[in-house]
């Protein structure tokens, strides 16, 4: 089974796969690799995803969602401005995650909206690969924090995808370029998408990609260009900000104008009966403040990597927004060199993700020796006395990363301890992003100051944190109860998984369980039949092994563990393979000896529907 790479973008999403040693994006019916990340919930319960949803957004503004990546893993309080910008109605009764109201339907979370996009990409992969993909590498902005990463993983789970790895977008692009060009040296990847900006500095040396530093802004991108242009057009046309539908129409119109301005010196936006002409120079002036905001992150990344711009061997541009001429000029000046643009900036992230997905199969033709070492974008710390943050994992640490800290109690017989974990680089906890509160309970009753509670923080290769705690004197494992500040709980995800079955009847878990049982049943029947017919072909001891596996499989089929059923089916097929091989060899010998196929069919034990069969 092939692994796939997915770029889940703010504006567009793509799926790519390595075939015959080459990464390729999978296309839709119109030969387009881009799936607009737009989802419309119809009153009858159907879901429209992609170009249709995007293009018809103006007609159904209240039930169409775009750019939901901006809301992933965030709380309503944090994204009021974004919600207003996209005219979404947020359900404010929920503090931990965003929920958008949809007329005549339960509210939806950005995680569920993203899952709809992922489901379409998964279907595209199933179609082209003739089967379920093995696993998926999904890209995220390097600057995504823990909650945003977790939200992305949740969306994949709801879409029925097995996430092999979350991969940072600029790193994915560097893989695509690095493996393509076979270059060694230091890269800067400048990734300006629809809604996020990332810059990473990487070193490729001796087959190892080491990310040296990463910085960015999860709220900066081409959407901001559209907004600036939109406001300018409205002002010039003497129009006010108006209703939702008009707003969507305006956004589509200015986006088209922005694209034209990539090559043309001027473009015209028609809105509300007025036609406004915008020149390239005007556009550049409008977007310059946004473009210049990317410079600060670039300088920070260089500083963290302890490098100066002249030490960068190559600059790679990623993201559709890097087509804007001003962006290209600006990046060129910033790094003092002409950026690489030979891979399609829209596709390069998905291609890199597919390459990493292929490498994770363990049998890749691309490179058996390539290793990717990424970093955590923001420091992790604990809130200590006075609301101050004590960092335990500094930003740009190579992941996976683990760090242990020892704590003690403040009062006698204290049995619980609260830890507040934050992510960010500010001094005070309240200025950083709260990741979660970990309550360690079940501590042994001891005088104050005696317990030594060792807490291990582990950031895995996806950049996601887990916490374990143990009291060292007694060896008692403290229970860690995680209350994530933002994001969905396990129960909520379970519920969404169930909803996804209700609404689409395509949920993988149930379907795969049924399929696994059907397959297991088929194999068991076939084995029994073969054993009854050809017992003479068995080697000594072979039957005992086959029987043992078959009975284990029969037991497993009564339970719900799909993986166990599949594993045992596979095992049964495996242990019967030599026996089956002997049967086939014998039948083939018969076939080759020139008898007619009907005869062979009989020999094969087939119900024969073409008794007058042709000569084999």
The burial of 272, by beta-carbon neighbours within 10 Å (0-12 exposed, 13-18 middle, 19 or more buried), is given as: middle
Of 266 and 361, the one with the shorter C-beta distance to other proteins is 361
**Measuring CA to CA, which residue among 232, 217, 319, 219 is closest to residue 274?**
232
Between 267 and 516, CB nearer to other proteins: 516
Which residue number, 79 or 136, has a Cβ lying nearer to other proteins? 136
DSSP one-letter code for 34? -
Residues 326, 200 contacting (CB under 8 angstroms): no
Structure tokens at 155: 């969306």
**What does residue 176 show for φ and ψ, rounded to 5 degrees?**
-60, -45
Closest CB 383 distance from other proteins, rounded Å: 17
Minimum CB separation from other proteins for residue 327, in Å?
28
Least gap, CB of 21 to other proteins (angstroms): 9
Pick the closer one to other proteins by CB: 239 or 575.
575
Whose Cβ is closer to other proteins: residue 239's or residue 458's?
Answer: 458
48: left (phi over 0), alpha (psi -120 to 50) or beta: beta
Catalytic residue among 69, 119, 153, 258: 69
DSSP 397: P
Residue of 7, 198, 249, 346 marked active site: 7
Give the whole-angstrom CA distance, residue 318 versus residue 295: 16
Q: Which one, of 20, 52, 23, lies nearest residue 35 by Cα?
A: 52
The residue (of 159 and 464) whose beta carbon lies closer to other proteins is: 464
Beta bridge partners of 382: 390, 421
Q: Which residue out of 145, 191, 198, 249 is catalytically annotated?
A: 191
Q: Which distant-in-sequence residues (6+ apart) come within 8 Å of 359 by Cβ? A: 366, 367, 370, 372
CA distance 518 to 318: 46
| Residue the block writes with tokens 């002002």 | 235
Q: Tell whether omega for the bond before 288 is within 30 degrees of 0, i.e. cis.
A: no
The catalytic position among 112, 145, 154, 169 is 169
Supply the DSSP symbol for 533: H
Q: Is 7 a catalytic residue?
A: yes
Residue 322 has which token pair?
């890097």
Minimal CA–CA distance to 351: which of 11, 24, 19?
A: 24
Tell the smallest beta-carbon distance from residue 534 to other proteins (Å): 10
Instruction: Answer for the pair 320, 282: CB distance below 8 angstroms, yes or no.
Output: no
Q: Is 304 a catalytic residue?
A: no
Least CB distance from residue 321 to other proteins, whole Å? 25
Supply the minimum distance, in Å, between the C-beta of residue 523 and other proteins: 4
Pick from 121, 124, 111: which is nearest to 157 by CA? 111
Tell me the torsion sign for CA atoms 61, 64, 69, 71.
Answer: positive
**Toward other proteins, which CB reaches closer, 310 or 614?**
614
The continuous run of DSSP H or E covering 420 comes out as strand 417-423
Question: Minimum distance between the CB of residue 352 and other proteins, rounded to whole angstroms?
Answer: 14
Q: Report CA Rg, the chain.
A: 29
Q: Scanning the structure block, which residue is given the tokens 């691309």?
A: 366
Q: Which residues of 45-83 are buried (b: 16+ CB within 10 A; e: fewer)?
A: eebbbbbebbeebbebbebbbbbbbbbbbbbbeebeebb
CB-count burial class (<10 Å; 0-12, 13-18, 19+) for 593: exposed
Q: How far is the CB of 580 from other proteins (least distance, A)?
A: 5
CB of 127 to other proteins, least distance (A): 7
- Cβ proximity to other proteins: between 260 and 402 the closer is 402
Catalytic residues: 7, 69, 169, 191
């Amino acid at each position: 089974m092939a692994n796939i790479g997915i770029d889940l973008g703010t504006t567009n999403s793509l799926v790519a796969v390595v075939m015959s040693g080459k990464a390729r994006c999978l296309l839709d019916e119109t030969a387009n690799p881009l799936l607009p990340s737009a989802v419309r919930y119809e009153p009858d319960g159907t879901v429209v995803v992609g170009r249709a949803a995007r293009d018809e957004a103006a007609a159904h503004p209240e039930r169409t969602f775009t750019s939901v990546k901006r809301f992933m893993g965030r709380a309503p309080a944090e994204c009021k401005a974004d919600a207003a910008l996209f005219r979404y109605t947020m359900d404010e009764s929920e503090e931990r995650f965003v929920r958008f109201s949809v007329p005549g339907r339960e509210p939806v979370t950005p995680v569920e909206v993203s899952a709809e996009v992922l489901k379409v990409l998964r279907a595209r992969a199933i179609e082209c690969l003739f089967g379920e993909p093995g696993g998926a590498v999904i890209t995220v902005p390097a600057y995504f924090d823990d909650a945003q990463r977790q939200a992305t993983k949740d969306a994949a789970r709801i879409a029925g995808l097995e996430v092999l790895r979350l991969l940072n977008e600029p790193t994915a692009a560097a893989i695509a370029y690095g493996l393509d060009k076979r270059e060694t040296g230091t890269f800067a990847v400048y990734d300006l998408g629809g809604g996020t900006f990332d810059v990473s500095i990487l070193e490729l040396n001796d087959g190892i990609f080491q990310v040296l530093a990463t910085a960015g802004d999860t709220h900066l991108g081409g959407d901001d260009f559209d907004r600036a242009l939109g406001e300018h057009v409205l002002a010039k046309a003497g129009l006010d900000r108006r209703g939702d539908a008009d707003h969507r129409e305006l956004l589509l119109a200015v986006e088209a104008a922005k694209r034209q301005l990539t090559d043309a010196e001027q473009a015209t936006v028609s809105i509300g009966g007025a036609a406004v002409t915008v020149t390239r120079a005007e556009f550049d002036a409008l977007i310059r403040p946004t473009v210049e905001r990317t410079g600060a992150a670039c300088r920070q990344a260089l500083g963290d990597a302890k490098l100066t711009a002249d030490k960068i061997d190559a600059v790679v541009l990623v993201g559709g927004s890097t087509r804007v001429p001003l962006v290209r000029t600006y990046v060129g000046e910033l790094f003092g060199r002409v950026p690489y643009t030979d891979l399609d900036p829209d596709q390069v992230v998905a291609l890199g993700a597919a390459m990493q997905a292929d490498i994770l199969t363990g049998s890749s033709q691309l490179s058996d020796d390539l290793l990717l070492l990424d970093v955590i974008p923001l420091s992790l710390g604990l809130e200590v006395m006075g609301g101050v943050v004590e960092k335990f994992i500094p930003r740009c640490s190579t992941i996976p990363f683990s760090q242990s800290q020892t704590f003690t109690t403040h009062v006698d017989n204290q049995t619980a301890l609260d830890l507040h974990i934050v992510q960010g680089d500010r001094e005070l906890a309240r200025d950083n992003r709260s990741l979660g509160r970990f309550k360690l309970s079940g501590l042994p009753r001891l005088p104050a100051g005696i317990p030594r509670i060792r807490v291990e923080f582990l950031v895995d290769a996806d950049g996601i944190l887990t916490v374990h705690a143990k009291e060292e004197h007694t060896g008692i494992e403290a229970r860690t109860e995680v209350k994530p500040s933002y994001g969905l709980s396990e129960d909520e995800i379970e519920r969404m998984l169930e909803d996804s079955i209700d609404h689409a009847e395509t949920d993988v878990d149930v379907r795969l369980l049924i399929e696994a049982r059907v397959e297991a049943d088929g194999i068991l029947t076939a084995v029994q039949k073969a054993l009854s017919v050809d017992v003479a072909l068995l080697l000594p001891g072979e039957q005992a092994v086959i029987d043992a596996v078959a009975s284990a499989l029969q037991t497993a089929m009564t339970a719900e563990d799909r993986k166990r059923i599949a594993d045992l089916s596979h095992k049964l097929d495996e242990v019967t393979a030599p026996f089956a091989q002997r049967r086939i060899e014998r039948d083939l010998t018969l076939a080759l000896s020139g008898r007619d196929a009907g005869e062979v069919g009989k020999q094969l034990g087939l119900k024969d529907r073409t008794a007058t069969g042709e000569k084999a």
